[in-house]
Structure 1
Amino acid sequence: MINADKDLPNTSSGLSNSSLDLTKSTSEEVIDLRHYFSVINKNKWRIIFLALAVSIFAAIVALNITPIYRATATLLIEADQVKAVSFEEIYGLDSNRKEYYLTQFEVLKSRKIAQAVVEKLDLINHPDFIGKPSAIREFIKDVKSNIPFLPQKKEVVLDGEEESDMVLQLLVKSFLSRLTISPVRKTQLVNITFESSDPQLAALVANTVGEVYIDQNLAAKIGMTETAAGWLTTRLSGLRMRLDESETKLQEYRERENLIDVSNMSGVSGVVGLISNELEQTSKQLVIERHVRNKLLSIVRVINEYGRDNLDMLGTITEITSHNTIQNVKKELVIVGRKVSELSQVYGPKHPKMIAAQAELITVNDNLSNQVHKLITGVEKQLTTSERNINALEEELVRIKAQYQTVTSKEYEYRKLSREVETNRKIYDTFFSRAKETEVTSDFNSAVARFTDRAFRPAYPTTPNKPLIVILAFIVTLGFGVVIAFVVDALNDTFKDAHDVENKLSQRMLGLLPLIHFKKKVGFMLHYFFDESGKKFAESVRTMRTSFVLTQLDKECKTIEVTSSVPGEGKTTTAINLAFALAQVERTILIDADMRKPSVCKRFDIPPYQPGLANLIAGTEKFSECIFHDEVSGLTVMPCGQRPPNPLELLSSPKFSELLAELKLSYDRIIIDTPPVQSVSDALVIAQQADAVIYVVKSDDTRIGVAQEGIGRLVRASAKIAGVVLNKVDTRKTSQSDSYHGYYNEYSYGDELTPVNDTRTLNKNG
């Protein structure tokens, strides 16, 4: 066989592929709202039916759902609880902190509270908590038990106590799933909500949870108080013994050391204070005495240096001259000297007054000398006395220091014993006061919480909200149906309208043929085009004919090939009806070139042995013997003839080209029905001889990729594609928003005109 794809030219493949890709990308980028509306409009009744069906089912389910009642009790958790005596440290909780409230909320949700409520109300025997057998679960269990290769769970054998405990724990778990603890924001209130199919039980459980919480809290406090009281009492005896022991040691130390008052808290009293003052005063006296001694030593050193008889030099010593006696004598000396000087101016040296004055002056000088010597002797005596005082003070200071060390060591030991006594006394007093407080207040405890609102029996169920369920089911199903419609439309890569044909294939759409519904046994009528019931179908064929003729006005288009991508798309039906339409106005011949699976003979009831195209190309029969005239339409039909073993070679032979050339002289239109492009290469070979190719695509069936590949093969074969015909369009799904205007309409306009065998009339009027 000849491989037409390899032999045919490939000059236009790049242009065609690029145009197809450009058109495809452009169509994907643009959001067509009309298309979305069209999808919804097409599927509106299906979506509405689905929504109604689901709503009815939801209503049935809602009617069979057991109503659930919800009851709520409100507790006020006390922040500052009333106490006869305050000893919060025993409980270990600070009620003013945020963590305190969070802890209480968790306690309300604890399994301990839930189990206490379950046992108190005997919920294990209440019908609302008795599990109902599930038919589905039993069915699954039976199926698993009857299938040997499925793993079987090992049954654990429990004794009576373990089994009852397990049942109780499951019941508590179910109880907690219905219980809701919700604190009210920025308050000390907490709501206790319980759900049950029994409204009376819902209210009873909500109230009981609060009561059990309050009772357990009081019991816990009483237990802690009693434990604390017992522990305090036990500790008191040991603390009392320790205090007595420390006081005894202190007293014995006092007696042993003969201590009366060794306290020195104020710094002015006590033995230590006296000794400290004595030590300080003695130290000061010693310093003063040493200063005096040093001063006297310096005076004596100067006296020894000047000499005891050198009155002139000794008179320069400040300590001597500053003495009152010396100053008085010097004043007297000055007075006597002034007197002698005055008398010497009046009297002579031997005058009695002068002699008496001179004697008085000598007496004053002698007195001054005596006084200086006495002062010198007194200084020496003072020095001796000062040294003795210093020695005595130093000895006293040593004695006082030794005494101070002894007293301070005794004070340290005393203070140590006193601190121990004081510490033991404080601890004992604290424990004693707490023990008395606990003993007095052990039978008094305020509640940790109180009810502000008790739960009451609800009059109406909370769930299910049956109208809301039905409305939501309807709305959700509508949305889900729309989504499904969009998904199905997106996954449906077939041709649905003219836009798909033009955008996906980049080809002109010549027309569409509606889907005709017939009984399977009857099939599609051959001359339905001429039947009274087929007016709309005939009009769509004539529209296709007119569109084709108008697109080929400036071309010599006699040989027309009709093909498709795959079998079953209706190319033969399209070729026959197009031939019928053209035969009404022009001389037309229909050739069945599908030598592999011919169907024209069956349609026209031509005997299978009737000679046809294969015989004519092979030269075994004459032209007149290879044609058939249809009396109804006036169409000339050339069947396939005897099915040859080499159809592609026959169609590729020069005789086929010569046959077409001869037919063009006798007929205005030559319609050739060919095999599908994707099946064999016959259509590609015939396309090189045809003046135009009409490509048939089945609506909602032909895949876009398959059609694009078929069109691409024709383009690569340099075929002159006139356009595409969309076949088997279900017009019942069309709407005003569909892009079928100009190709098909449900409403016919006037009566069909009488056929005119004039091509010029058709070309003018369309």
Structure 2
Amino acid sequence: MNAQNMNSQNSEMHQERMLQEEVIDLRQYWRIVDRFKWRIAALSIAVAMLTAMVVFSMTPRYQATATLMIEAEQPKALSIEEVYGLDSSRKEYFLTQFEILKSRRIAEEVVNRLNLVNHPEFDPDQQSPSIKDRIKGWLPFLASREMLTEEEARQLKLESVTDEVSSRLSIAPVRNTQLVKITFESESPELAAKVANMVAEVFIDSHLQAKLDMTKQATSWLNDRLEDLRLKLEQSESRLQTFQEQEGLVDVSGVQGLAAQELNQISSQLIQARQEFKQAESIYSLVQSRGADVDALASLPEVLNHKLIENIKQAEIDTARKVSELSRRYGPKHPKMISARDELESVQDKLRSEVRRLISGIHSDYETAQSNVVALERELQQAKTDYQLVSRKETRYNELKREVDVNRQLYSAFLTRFRETSETSGFEAANARLMDPAVAPRLPAKPKKALIVALALVVSAMAGVMLAFLLEALNDGIRNPEDVENKLSQRMIGVLPWVDHDKRERLSLATFFDSSQHSFAEAVRTLRTSVVLSHLDRPAKVISVTSSVPGEGKTTVSENLGFALSQMEKVLLIDADMRRPSVGKEFKLPPYHPGLSNLIAGSNTLAECIYHDEKSGMDIMPAGTVPPNPQELLSSPRFAKAIEVLKSKYDRLIVDTAPAQVVSDALIVSRIADSMLYVVKADSTRQKLVNNGIGRLLQVGAKLDGVVLNQVDTTSKTGYYGEYYTYAGEYAYRAPGVSENAQNVKPKATSEDLEVA
């Protein structure tokens, strides 16, 4: 029944521990801080004092700031609107200017102008040697063996000072403006202001000098180019003039226009002549085809359409009509008829004569048109040749003239730029203006002593707290009831506080009866009550006490639990740790006093092996003679029989056994024990050892009632122990004396009560 109750309790404790793990217990953290509070405070104060000593020994540093406005566009003297023009959209330009301000060239120029190389703050020769230099002096092999010339040493010194100045210089642009803050840090407020202003001045001067150098370089280059362009222009003009003289050209465009006009006229004439020739050729062909027949020739359209032929034809028609009219009135021999017929014949003869003349003219016109076409074609060919010659001359002329024009334009452009550059070279327009010069500060900027000391105090306190948490995390010892339940999954059946005594000696047996140690006595009585209440249905007559390793106080717990139980019952304390027995020594028994080993071996009687303590009223059975084989004695039936006999003579048997992790004696004793108490020294024994020891006991079926946490530090007034022992001290039970204990003491067992086989 007890085993079932214990298993049920262990299961409930395990579930409760799992629930507690899911909730962050802030009180646990506060207890850790409270336990280490004086060490944390000591660490914080020590660090703060050390920081204060270092900070107050540091040389104060001053910071001076100058404000510089950087122009976005370079002003031009030829456009007055651009002198004050600003352009905030060119971010790359401002970033470039910021980097120029940070450049080494600016810092080096500042060093040279202010002669900082010889300033005591920067000159290594005027300063006390640093720790590094001292170490090099102490260790010659670390020193540089390279011999430097005077110039090399001076240059090296300049570079060192320049690096130092650059490291103290800070360039910070003002957001969304064209302003930049130039800040310098120095031990001297005047020097800080002077260097900050000098950086701005050097930056402005360097830009002006760069512009001046560029202007000079541009002027020199333009001058050289102008001379070359002038020579090229003169040479091109000379070639053009020579060509005109050689070709006799006055107005090339006019000559080419005249030649083109003449060529067009000849072409038109040739076209017209060819048309006339074709017409004459066709008429001529018809005439040739009709031969010498005048009547046939007269019927040709070309002949009939001739004006003269038309007139003669009309005259012939009129004369014939007249003859016809006269023939109706007169006879053939009438003079009018004769005159009319003569007139008609005369007209017809004239027609034939004109036809012959016209035919002769057609032949002449044909030959004339043919010769005219040939002449015009020859003239056109000559005109083409002349026009091509003029075109070639014009092409060459234009080529030479273009060369002259280009050279003249280049020369004019360079001459104009050269004169502009020469005229504006004296205008020095800066790209920046010093808006707010730096002034010598009155208060140092570094170090902020109060702030540094306060931060050191806070940081060291935080570091101390973190270190306390780390130590707490690394410490896997059992420190409080929560650890017993959470880490060991066991019930804490009792807590014994630490009692001040010499750590090299055991706790005095009189502590339980000392009126000044009432807290310890009350803790022992509480343990007694827990043990008794754990077995109400069936009292545990045999109580075994063990631990993981030696030195945890299992013997002290056994003795004091016996003292508490002996106030109400008849108790026997048995020292079953026959390897390192200590109960007999505690009660001042001689080493040869018989005990458990002698009883089991049968060399002594029960009465001879028991010692009665008059002060506490408790009987003690020491370990006796140390045997070579303690485990065999404890495993023998005689040991179990002896325990059965003693159980009939005493109300309680408290068995002090060897540590469970050292030997297996406790496992053997657990088989005959009704209850086992596992003693753990607070904040000492590692969790793994305790778990292993408890696990070994549980594997063999030991009836483990719980863990007794021994030597607990109760000096803290916060948390579980402080409150418990504060209140317990007010209501602590004080034993009136030994006489009261003696009332409960029963007669000792005699030798006849035990038969030893």
Letter in 1 for 2:635: S
- Aligned residue identity for 2:258: L
Deviation at 1:654, TM superposition (A): 1.1
Q: Give, in whole Å, the separation in 2 of the partners of 1:378 and 1:640.
A: 182
Aligned residue identity for 1:570: G
**CA distances 1:676-712 after superposition (whole Å, capped 9, x unpaired):** 1111111111122222221111111111111111111
Taking the TM superposition and a 5 Å limit, the aligned residue runs for 1:550-565 are 550-565=533-548
TM-score (norm 2): 0.82
Deviation at 1:195, TM superposition (A): 0.8
Give the deviation of 1:157 after TM superposition: 1.6
Letter paired with 1:225:
T
TM-score by length of 1: 0.81
Given the superposition, is the C-alpha separation of residues 305 and 541 from structure 1 closer, same or farther in structure 2, using an over 3 Å criterion? farther
Alignment of 1:346-495 (within 5 A): 351=328, 387-495=370-478
Deviation at 1:104, TM superposition (A): 3.0
In the alignment, structure 1 residue 177 sits paired with structure 2 residue 140? no
What is the CA deviation profile of residues 465-522 of structure 1, one whole-angstrom value per residue up to 9, with x for unaligned ones? 2222122222222222221122111111111221211122111111211111124577
SS in 1 for 2:34: helix
Distance change >3 Å, CA 371–CA 519, structure 1 → 2: farther
The residue that corresponds to 2:37 in the other structure is 44
1:517-666 alignment to 2 at 5 Å?
517-520=500-503, 523-666=506-649
Residue 559 of structure 1 contacts residue 692 of structure 1 at CA under 8 Å; is this kept in 2? yes
Aligned residue for 2:451, secondary structure, equals helix
Task: For 1:544, give the aligned amino acid.
Answer: L
- Note the C-alpha offset of 1:190: 2.3
Given the alignment of the two structures, is residue 270 of structure 1 paired with residue 260 of structure 2, yes or no? no
SS of residue matched to 2:251: coil
1:161-214 deviations in whole A, cap 9, x for unaligned?
222221221111111111122222333322221111111111111112222233
Provide the C-alpha distance between the structure 2 equivalents of 1:326 and 1:501, rounded to a whole number of angstroms. Answer: 160
In structure 2, relative to structure 1, the CA distance for the partners of 1:121 and 1:257 (3 Å cut) is same
2:670 to 658, 674, 687: 687
Letter in 1 for 2:259: I
1:254 aligns with 2:238: no
2:28 to 23, 35, 38: 35
In structure 2, the residue matched to 1:762 is: none
1:256 and 1:61 map into 2 onto residues whose CA distance is: 100
CA contact under 8 A between 2:60 and 2:446: conserved in structure 1?
A: yes
Task: Say if 1:195 and 1:202, in contact at 8 Å, map to a contact too.
Answer: yes
Selected match of 2:128 from 133, 153, 161: 133
8 Å CA contact retained: 1:20, 1:505: no
Aligned match of 1:108: 101
Conservation of the 8 A alpha-carbon contact between 1:511 and 1:543: yes
**In structure 2, the residue corresponding to 1:563 is in which secondary structure?**
strand
Distance 2:39 2:580 in 1: 39
Residues 1:670 and 1:303: Cα distance change in structure 2 (over 3 Å): farther
Q: CA deviation at 1:26?
A: 7.5
2:57 is matched with: 64
Q: What are the superposed Cα offsets for residues 28-68 of structure 1, whole Å, 9 maximum, x if unpaired?
A: 66544332233233333433333233223323332222111
Secondary structure of 2:522's match? Answer: helix
Q: Distance in 2 between matches of 1:153 and 1:547?
A: 76
Check the 8 A contact 1:114/1:209 in 2, yes or no: yes
Cα–Cα, structure 1 residues 253 and 16, in superposed 2: closer, same or farther, change >3 Å?
A: farther
Could you tell me how far 1:591 is from its partner in structure 2? 1.0
User: Which has the higher mean CA deviation after the structures are superposed, 487-496 or 384-393?
Assistant: 384-393
In 1, the alpha carbon distance for the partners of 2:611 and 2:663 equals 27
Q: Does the Cα contact within 8 Å between 2:294 and 2:352 map onto a contact in 1?
A: no
SS of equivalent to 1:58 = helix
- 1:615 positional shift: 0.8
Deviation for aligned residue 1:406 = 1.3
Matched residue, 1:720:
703
Task: Indicate if the aligned counterparts of 1:72 and 1:192 stay in contact, CA closer than 8 A.
Answer: yes
Report SS of the residue matched to 2:729: coil
Distance 1:532 1:679 in 2: 36
Q: Is the 2:14–2:486 Cα contact (8 Å) retained in structure 1?
A: no
2:709 matches 1:735? no
Match for 1:594: what amino acid?
D
Distance 1:437 1:548, change over 3 A: same
Structure-2 separation of matches of 1:573 and 1:464: 60
Unaligned runs of 5+ in 1: 1-14, 87-93, 146-150, 263-268, 341-346, 760-766
Higher relative contact order (CA 8 A, sep 6+): 1
Q: 1:141 to 1:379 in 2, by over 3 A?
A: same
Q: Which moved more, 1:26-35 or 1:563-572?
A: 26-35
What is the aligned partner in structure 2 of residue 266 from structure 1? none
Matched residue, 1:188 = 178
- In the alignment, the residues of structure 2 paired with residue 327 and residue 588 of structure 1 have an alpha-carbon distance, to the nearest angstrom, of 188
Corresponding position of 1:227: 217
Listed one character per residue, the Cα deviations across residues 272-303 of structure 1 (whole Å, up to 9, x for unaligned) are 23333444454455556656766777788899
Distance 2:283 2:716 in 1: 146
* Paired residues of 1:699 and 1:728 also in contact (CA < 8 A): yes
Alpha carbons of structure 1 residues 441 and 665: separation in structure 2 relative to 1, 3 Å: same
Preserved CA contact (<8 Å) 1:326 1:368: no
Structure 2 stretches lacking a partner, 5+ long: 1-7, 80-86, 746-757
Alignment partners' CA distance in 2, 1:314 and 1:185: 114
Amino acid at match of 1:482: V
* Residues in 2 aligned to 1:221 and 1:543: alpha-carbon distance in whole angstroms: 98
Structure 2 letter corresponding to 1:72 = T
**2:153 is aligned with 1:160:** no
Structure 1: distance between partners of 2:529 and 2:382: 149
The percentage of counterpart residues that share the same residue type is 47
Q: Is the 8 A contact 2:309 2:354 kept in 1?
A: no
Alpha-carbon distance between aligned partners in 1 of 2:102 and 2:231, rounded to the nearest angstrom = 48
Q: Secondary structure at the match of 1:560?
A: strand
Which residue is equivalent to 2:752?
none
**What is the alpha-carbon distance in structure 2 between the residues aligned to residue 226 and residue 753 of structure 1?**
111
In structure 1, distance between residues paired with 2:128 and 2:498? 55
Change (3 A) 1:406 1:629: same
Q: Which residue type is aligned with residue 110 of structure 1? A: S
Preserved contact between residue 279 and residue 401 of structure 1 (Cα < 8 Å): yes
Q: Compute the displacement of 1:95 (Å).
A: 12
Distance 1:536 1:201 in 2: 72
Amino acid at match of 1:505: L
Deviation at 1:749, TM superposition (A): 4.7
Q: Do the aligned partners of 1:562 and 1:674 also contact (CA within 8 Å) in 2?
A: yes
**C-alpha RMSD of matched pairs (Å):** 4.4
Question: Is the contact made by 2:309 and 2:351 (CA closer than 8 Å) also made in structure 1?
Answer: no
Structure 1's 489 and 315: CA in aligned 2 closer, same or farther, altered over 3 A?
farther
Mapped partners of 2:130, 2:156: distance in 1? 23
